[in-house]
Amino acid sequence: MPVPTQDSYEVCLDFTNDTHDCATIQLLCDYGRSTSAIVLLHPGESVTLVLDAGSLYKYALKSRTKVANVSARSWRDVRCDMSQLFSAAASPRTSQRASPNPHCNGVTVDRVWRDYRFNVWNDS
């Protein structure tokens, strides 16, 4: 008897800039190389990315000099506040989930670091 196959489908990944500063989102493989595919979000703005369900995507999110490298893989729609991703560095290393919030499941913070090369904001 043939095994039923599951058709591929799309999910939405919604990033909301809930910080007081502008933030950018870029594919991680393009970070620092190309400026042609960067999304700039002002405070309060959001962007919805359409992804293939179950596929792995890697992004670099930046606010001022702080950069969060994140991995996204989900089988359902996900909403994620950027402040949760940037604050993940303060959480214990054993828990690298972006948030215990079920709306952010499927997004993992791989690394949070500082990049002063491309800082367009004055941090003083």
41 vs 26: CA distance, rounded Å: 11
Structure tokens at 18: 């809930």
Least Cα distance to 49 among 19, 3, 80 occurs for 80
- pTM, full prediction: 0.78
pLDDT, one tens digit per residue, over 27-47 is 998 887 766 688 999 999 999
Please report, in angstroms and rounded to a whole number, the separation of the first and last CA atoms in the chain. Answer: 68
| Low-confidence stretches of the chain (pLDDT beneath 70) | 1-6, 34-36, 88-103, 118-124
